[in-house]
Amino acid sequence: MTRTGRIPGIALSLALLTGPVAFAQEKPADGQKPATSPAKEARPEPPPKPKIAVFRLSGPIQETPKDDVLNLGGEVGVPLQTLVSRLDKAAGDPAVKAVVILLEGPEIGASQVEEVRQAIGRVRAAGKEVYAHADEIGGMGHYVLLTAASTISVTPTSELAITGLYGESPYLRRLLDKIGVKPDFLTCGDYKSAAEIFLRDGPSKEAEAMQNWLLDSLYETAVARAASGRKVGPAIVQAWIDSGPHSAEKAKELGMIDAVEHRQDLEARLAGKYGKDVAFDRKYGRKAEPKLDASSPFGLFKFWGELLGASKASDSKKPAVGVVYVEGPIVVGGGGASDLFQDAAASGVKLRRALDQAAGDDAIRAIVLRVDSPGGSALASEIILDATRRVKAKKPFVVSMGDVAGSGGYYVACASDTVFADASTITASIGVVSGKLATKDVYDRLGVDFKSYRRGQNAGMLASGEVFSPGEKLKMRALMDETYGVFKGHVVAARGNRLKKPIDDLAGGRVFTGKQALELGLVDRLGTLHDAIAFAADQAKVKDYEIRTVPRPRSFLEQLLDEGSDDEGGKRLNVLQRPSLFELAAPHLKALDPARASLVRAALGRLELIRREGVVLMMPELAAGR
């Protein structure tokens, strides 16, 4: 073999095989035109339609690719290499004019962040813009990832919880002593500290030094990457961190992000830039959907389920009034609802999609939003409210309140021209709540100690160990005041002179019945869902119509066979989910005292919601014999 790695014999054989073929054509006869080859006669293919490749980052980013065909529960993520390959494909695809990254709370490690950042860099190096959008940015890792993009935009009223790096190490020695367990471990090396959590009540000096140098390096790298992506100095990034958390609007002022906009606004902006005929490919680079696999019973089962779904999804051209339901606590994402909510949670992402679907369906002439919710996430409420405005701009839009439409439930309803409520509906509760449980004393009694590490003045403000410091409380209060101001502003802008009192006399967390709310101008009419649908149809000037739930309810079989696509707000059926301790005890508690068991469930559900969502628009649980 030669130094270039070629095998001369093989190269010669190829030359001998291909050489004669190039000269084997017969010479045309005198006066005869040369035959035109089929290749020359074929018309050139039209250029591919321009597209924008869209990548949703949600769920766990897996290191090892897995076949999830038989997955029966849990959120399915994407293999890291698959994600990188798809980005690289977009970089080299002439049809792809730009890339959009949608951040939806992925579980991604620091090294994986950098791998994806570099893949984004290759897309940009190919001369293509990368637009990143997030409904929320929940930490340093997510922010560092997004800084690789050409531009970053965030949903209005969102929070950028970029406060640094925080970690804790538990030490269980005193707990083991209390229960009579004697740890017995052997180690090699002074810094081999994995067993220290069982051997000590705090870190050794070596472990302490190691933790700090690791954290120093991680922090320095994260700051440097963010600074490089945003083209600022590290000192500026550190200043952003130490003054955080920030609202999206404040972050834009500081230069942390480029735009504050909803997702569809970004899409409209890109359509204007790249042409209205540009296609948004939301499954770019993914494998084609599998067809019927008759060799497998699972393949037949899946195929039959798809047939059932297709039969139900037949498009009816009959005029319809669409009904979109906001039921249960309002959360941002579509999956992972707590057992404490009994899986009844209103996803802002899913409802945005449903409302956009209803607005774009020509057969649906009017839309009713049915709200039965005590509120929840401020961000999710904003997402839903914005979607209702787009509906209202296209067709008649009416709100119907159920038992409860308070706080976030009122937030999503207030922009409608006509709001129906029952006389006994519990509504309003215009206010904001946030906080945490400080568990230090509990762990002191259990004998568990924590050694905390932080970088950034407010990095540990949401940690559960201690109550807020005075400075942290000021920051949290400022963030809540900003959200509260937005809430009141939405109500005033939407209700205008229909309000019978100044907004501050109606807000402050005050709760009213539907009857009282009508007197105060917070709702427009007393009536049922039926009344609201009839009113909406009348506004649309349709007499003969059907009532259509949006999105169409899916059968158990469809949910079971749902593989989870790039559709927004998709939620998987988790038949293998482990029940919580409360779920196990619930039947016994209900038998002893069903009313209190229900209150405990509601309280724990609210606590879980605050833990997950941070600043929330949640009304209080009322002891009104309901």
What's the mean pLDDT in 411-422? 94
Q: CA dist 283 to 53, 234, 261, 316, 573, Å?
A: 8, 36, 23, 27, 22
* Per-residue model confidence as pLDDT tens digits over 470-493: 898 889 889 889 999 999 999 999
CA–chain centroid gap for 333, Å, is 5
Spatial distance between the Cα atoms of 511 and 619, rounded to a whole number of angstroms: 8
In contact, 114 and 141? CB cutoff 8 Å: no
pLDDT above 50: residue 290:
no
At 446 the pLDDT is 74
Range in 182-196, 417-431, 488-502 the model is least confident about: 182-196
State the pLDDT confidence band at 257, using cuts at 50, 70 and 90: very high
What's the mean pLDDT in 569-576? 40
What's the mean pLDDT in 49-68? 83
At 300 the pLDDT is 58
Spatial distance between the Cα atoms of 573 and 430, rounded to a whole number of angstroms: 34
Q: Is residue 179 part of a domain?
A: no
Residue type (1 letter), 412: V
Same domain, 424 and 534: yes
Spatial distance between the Cα atoms of 526 and 400, rounded to a whole number of angstroms: 9
What's the mean pLDDT in 414-439? 88
Of 477, 230, 487, nearest to 379 by C-alpha is 487
At 31 the pLDDT is 47
* Residue recorded with tokens 């690789």: 148
Task: Name the residue range of residue 154's domain.
Answer: 51-163+244-281
Q: Is residue 171 part of a domain?
A: no
Range in 215-224, 239-248, 491-500 the model is least confident about: 215-224
* Per-residue model confidence as pLDDT tens digits over 536-551: 999 999 999 998 989 8
Structure tokens, 170: 């538990």
At 569 the pLDDT is 43
Q: Is residue 173 part of a domain?
A: no
Phi and psi at residue 260, to the nearest 5°: -115, 110
pLDDT above 50: residue 625:
no
Same domain, 248 and 100: yes
What's the mean pLDDT in 252-278? 95
pLDDT above 90: residue 20:
no
State the pLDDT confidence band at 25, using cuts at 50, 70 and 90: very low
End position of a domain, from candidates 281, 308, 327: 281
Same domain, 272 and 394: no
In contact, 377 and 617? CB cutoff 8 Å: yes
Q: CA dist 392 to 77, 126, 263, 361, 397, Å?
A: 35, 41, 18, 14, 5
Q: What is the CATH number of the domain that holds 365?
A: 3.90.226.10
What DSSP line would sit under 324-385, residue for residue?
A: EEEESSEESSSS---GGGTT--EEHHHHHHHHHHHHH-TTEEEEEEEEEE-EEEHHHHHHHH
In contact, 522 and 348? CB cutoff 8 Å: no
Spatial distance between the Cα atoms of 119 and 86, rounded to a whole number of angstroms: 9
Same domain, 416 and 554: yes
Q: CA dist 494 to 139, 263, 385, 491, Å?
A: 33, 22, 11, 5
Of 326, 385, 322, 389, nearest to 357 by C-alpha is 322
What's the mean pLDDT in 402-423? 92
Q: What is the mean pLDDT of the chain?
A: 80
**Total number of domains constituting the chain:** 2
Same domain, 142 and 250: yes
Spatial distance between the Cα atoms of 236 and 162, rounded to a whole number of angstroms: 13
Same domain, 333 and 422: yes
Residues making up the chain, counted from first to last: 626
* Per-residue model confidence as pLDDT tens digits over 362-379: 999 999 999 989 898 999
What's the mean pLDDT in 277-283? 93
* Tally of CA atoms within 13 A in the half-sphere of 593 that contains its CB: 5
Q: Is residue 68 part of a domain?
A: yes
The backbone region for 441, taken as left when phi is positive above 0, alpha when psi lies in -120 to 50, beta otherwise, is: alpha
Range in 227-236, 303-312, 405-414, 537-546 the model is least confident about: 303-312
In contact, 431 and 407? CB cutoff 8 Å: yes
What's the mean pLDDT in 262-269? 96
At 480 the pLDDT is 86
Same domain, 261 and 409: no
Q: CA dist 339 to 237, 335, 586, Å?
A: 39, 12, 11
Residue type (1 letter), 383: I
Stated as kind and residue range, the H or E segment containing 61 is strand 51-62
At 505 the pLDDT is 92
State the pLDDT confidence band at 266, using cuts at 50, 70 and 90: very high
Residue type (1 letter), 61: I
Same domain, 269 and 362: no
pLDDT above 60: residue 581:
no
Same domain, 611 and 522: yes
pLDDT above 90: residue 238:
yes
Q: Is residue 233 part of a domain?
A: no
SS3 599: helix
Q: Is residue 111 part of a domain?
A: yes
SS3 479: helix
pLDDT above 60: residue 432:
yes
State the pLDDT confidence band at 13, using cuts at 50, 70 and 90: very low
Range in 87-101, 177-191, 229-243, 477-491 the model is least confident about: 177-191
Of 101, 44, 74, 27, nearest to 566 by C-alpha is 101
End position of a domain, from candidates 254, 281, 308: 281
pLDDT above 90: residue 151:
yes
At 555 the pLDDT is 54
Spatial distance between the Cα atoms of 361 and 12, rounded to a whole number of angstroms: 65
Spatial distance between the Cα atoms of 409 and 24, rounded to a whole number of angstroms: 79
600 or 162, which is more confident: 162
**Pair type for strands 375-377 and 246-247:** unpaired
357 or 34, which is more confident: 357
Of 267, 119, 123, nearest to 568 by C-alpha is 267
Same domain, 331 and 276: no
CA–chain centroid gap for 132, Å, is 13
Spatial distance between the Cα atoms of 536 and 399, rounded to a whole number of angstroms: 9
Give percent of the chain with pLDDT exceeding 90: 44
Same domain, 387 and 331: yes
389 or 287, which is more confident: 389
Phi and psi at residue 559, to the nearest 5°: -65, -40
Spatial distance between the Cα atoms of 513 and 492, rounded to a whole number of angstroms: 20
Q: Is residue 514 part of a domain?
A: yes
Of 108, 148, 157, nearest to 125 by C-alpha is 148
Spatial distance between the Cα atoms of 436 and 268, rounded to a whole number of angstroms: 39
pLDDT above 70: residue 9:
no
Structure tokens, 10: 């093989």
Q: pTM higher than 0.75 for the full model?
A: no
Which of 83-87, 265-269, 301-305 has the highest average model confidence (pLDDT)?
Answer: 265-269
Q: Is residue 124 part of a domain?
A: yes
Torsion on CA atoms 279, 282, 288, 294, rounded to nearest 10: -120
* Per-residue model confidence as pLDDT tens digits over 195-234: 788 888 999 888 888 888 778 888 998 999 999 999 999 9
* Per-residue model confidence as pLDDT tens digits over 67-93: 544 344 434 568 888 898 899 999 999
Same domain, 420 and 537: yes
Stated as kind and residue range, the H or E segment containing 323 is strand 320-327
State the pLDDT confidence band at 99, using cuts at 50, 70 and 90: very high
Secondary structure letter of residue 159 according to DSSP = E
